[in-house]
């Protein structure tokens, strides 16, 4: 699939078409990467779920309704992984800060080191001579999508076979993936590198690649590095301490409000907008914040379309805005007489960083940034303190809390 239509209606259409496959067919076929235009065993809903054009709770409820808790289990677990990663990063914001600092250092090294620059460019341009890797690199750039298994193989080859800095690979993904998400992307690369589940890196295995690409690629094991350890030495102090979830303030009904729509959550109509005194609305484009390097046109066009669709559904004439000078958001709200900005919860990542930079200007104008947090996140995040197993154990309890009765 390459013709992505960034709208809630399109996401719900894709969801309806995939519901019959969410059970055993998904469980049996989800690991096979059939290549561009042939991703039939997986839902390709991730660009929509990432922006909440389609809700996780709706997807999970559909899987259980048609396939039941046993046959739908594997699909449900994969949906919950995204929530787990988001919660994990919320509890360890230091990991995101470390990624950003490390990426800037890697980009500086890239400017100075001609050989590194050559090798990274070859990898990104699909010119390494490793056929599967080069094909995935091309598919990523051309379509904005990669099968999840291919993402793992790609990251492993980037890190261990090509010996390239993992953050530059994560940045390459983040700049091109339509479903690029700070938590899933950063922690997925860390997991492959052996930093998330320490001491357990993910090796790219030739037989595994041949089997789960249905023979499209048949690399030799000698072409791939033997992975005996991860990158634990880069973090000898271990994982940072788990912190409490960030405190936030929900919107207050009595205050003049500026409604902020971002592609972190394009379903603002799910919240009680009618009870607020909304003086202005804005649709904030922020995908360019993903990286110091240029972000894919595919990503930015999808974001623009999703924001326009969300604005139409909100019922408000939203001003198109761009996340540039953080002080401007305070002026936008103040000019409308608003004393609070209301938006769905912004998780850890580049937009959160940008909004944190705006806080002094907001305070100067007497404006409070207020957020709605969805029940789905509130149900998962308290368990996202260690590995996924703790979340997996509590899935029945999570779904009891997160799904409508």
Each residue's pLDDT tens digit, 116-140: 999 999 999 999 999 999 999 999 9
Pair (101, 60) in one structural domain: no
| Shared domain check, 230 and 97 | yes
30 in Cβ contact with 78 (< 8 Å)? yes
The answer to whether residues 86 and 150 belong to one domain is no
More confident residue, 237 or 357: 357
Q: What gap in Å lies between CA 281 and CA 315, rounded to an integer?
A: 10
What are residue 390's DSSP bridge partners? none
Domain membership flag for residue 3? no
CA 395 to chain centre: 21
Domain assignment of residue 324, yes or no: yes
Query: Do residue 182 and residue 295 come from a single domain?
Result: no
Edge-to-edge strands, sheet with 340-344: 319-322, 277-285, 256-262, 340-344, 368-372
CA distance 324 to 308: 19
Question: Same structural domain for residues 17 and 66?
Answer: yes
Q: How many residues does the chain have?
A: 405
C-alpha torsion sign, points 369, 375, 378, 384 = negative
Q: 168 and 66, same structural domain?
A: no
Q: Range of 230's domain? A: 93-234
173 lies in the same domain as 196: yes
Our count of domains for the chain comes to 3
Whether 293 is covered by a domain: the verdict is yes
Rg of the chain on CA atoms, in Å: 21
Residues 217 and 97 reside in one and the same domain: yes
Same domain, 85 and 97: no
Question: Each residue of 338-392: pLDDT tens digit?
Answer: 999 999 999 999 999 999 999 999 999 999 999 999 999 999 999 999 999 999 9
Strands 368-372 and 277-285: unpaired
To the question of pTM greater than 0.95 for the whole model, the response is: yes
Q: Are residues 24 and 36 in the same domain?
A: yes
Is there a domain that residue 1 lies in?
A: no
User: HSE-up of 57 (CA within 13 Å, CB side)?
Assistant: 17
pLDDT grade for 237, boundaries at 50, 70 and 90: low
- Which residue, among 126, 138, 114, 86, has the nearest Cα to 246 in the 3D structure? 86
List residues bridging with 278 in a β-sheet. 257
Residues 146 and 30 in one domain: no
Residue 248 lies in a domain: no
- Choose the final residue of a domain: 234, 266, 289: 234
Structural domain includes residue 285? yes
């Amino acid at each position: 699939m390459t013709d992505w239509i960034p709208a809630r209606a399109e996401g719900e259409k894709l969801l309806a078409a995939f519901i019959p496959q969410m059970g055993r067919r998904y469980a049996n076929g989800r690991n096979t990467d059939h290549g561009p235009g042939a991703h039939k065993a997986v839902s390709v809903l991730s660009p929509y779920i990432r922006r909440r054009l389609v809700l996780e709770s709706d997807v999970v409820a559909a899987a259980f309704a048609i396939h039941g808790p046993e046959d739908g289990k594997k699909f449900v677990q994969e949906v919950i992984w995204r929530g787990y990663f988001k919660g994990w990063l919320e509890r360890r914001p230091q990991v995101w800060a470390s990624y950003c600092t490390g990426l800037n250092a890697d980009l500086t090294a890239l400017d100075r080191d001609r050989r590194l620059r050559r090798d990274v460019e070859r990898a990104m341009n699909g010119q390494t001579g490793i056929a599967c890797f080069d094909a995935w690199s091309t598919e990523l750039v051309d379509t904005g999508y990669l099968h999840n298994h291919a993402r793992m193989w790609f990251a492993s080859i980037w890190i261990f076979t090509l010996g390239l800095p993992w953050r530059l690979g994560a940045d390459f993904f983040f700049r091109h993936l339509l479903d690029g998400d700070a938590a899933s992307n950063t922690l997925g690369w860390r997991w492959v590198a052996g930093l998330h589940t320490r001491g357990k890196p993910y090796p790219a295995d030739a037989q595994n690649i041949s089997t789960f690409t249905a023979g499209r690629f048949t690399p030799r094991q000698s072409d791939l590095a033997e992975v005996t350890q991860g990158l634990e030495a880069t973090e000898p102090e271990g994982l940072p301490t788990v912190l409490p979830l960030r405190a936030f303030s929900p919107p207050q009904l009595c205050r003049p409000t500026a409604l902020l729509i971002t592609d972190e959550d394009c379903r603002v109509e799910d919240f009680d907008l009618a009870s607020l005194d909304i003086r202005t609305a804005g649709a904030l484009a922020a995908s360019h914040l993903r990286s110091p390097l240029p972000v894919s046109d595919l990503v930015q066009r999808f974001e623009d379309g999703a924001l326009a669709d969300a604005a139409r559904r909100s019922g408000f004439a939203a001003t198109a805005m761009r996340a540039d000078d953080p002080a401007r958001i305070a002026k936008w709200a103040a000019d409308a007489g608003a004393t609070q900005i209301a938006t769905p919860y912004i998780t850890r990542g580049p937009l959160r960083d940008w909004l944190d930079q705006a806080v002094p200007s907001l305070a100067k104008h007497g404006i409070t940034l207020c957020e709605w947090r969805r029940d789905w996140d509130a149900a998962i995040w308290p368990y996202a303190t260690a590995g996924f197993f703790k979340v997996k154990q509590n899935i029945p309890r999570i779904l009891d809390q997160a799904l409508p009765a």
